[in-house]
Structure 1
């Protein structure tokens, strides 16, 4: 009868260690680059743009790119999801791109055009 409480205590400690150590989707055989989404922004517009990633009702600011410049960004991306990019230019309308399905380790290119409504995403 004394074994049962000990087994329960061991099981609870083991489950607790799993949550303390981090997320349950951790895979020791995947490199950090394989769990990231790599985004290259080519800003062919004269103005500075701020880029947001939109997915599953969330909006994540990934950074800004000066006019006629290029920048690379990486963000954590654990699973395949459909995303859109929101492009903000100070004093102008915000533009949201069409959606694209991306997964961990993918590379995406966002080309910001002038006018912004002509911007495109390639996977």
Structure 2
């Protein structure tokens, strides 16, 4: 079962951005599937690193598009990008430091991050770019 299902409401109407949204959802779903298997904790850092790298690149693309189109909510959208990246870095640091890690709460946190960001900031961006 997938953690996050693609929904057209996540589309911003820019092919490259929408493609990356789908890829990120696929990566999160793959990470979730592996983490739910026995011994999955060992895959955590690899997936967190991959998710972090891909999200960073994706956010850079979105921000470039927003700047090029003089998007009026650019500052708030960028701030949410920074917040999401900070949270992933914090989880990575905690995991490396041997802090307690539980797969299911982490999976739900990922789902919440994406769903909230897509349904608020990205939905607003979609309406503005239409």
Name whichever structure is richer in helix by fraction: 2
Larger Rg: 1
Structure number with greater CO (CA < 8 Å, separation at least 6) is 2
TM-score by length of 1: 0.28
TM-score by length of 2: 0.27
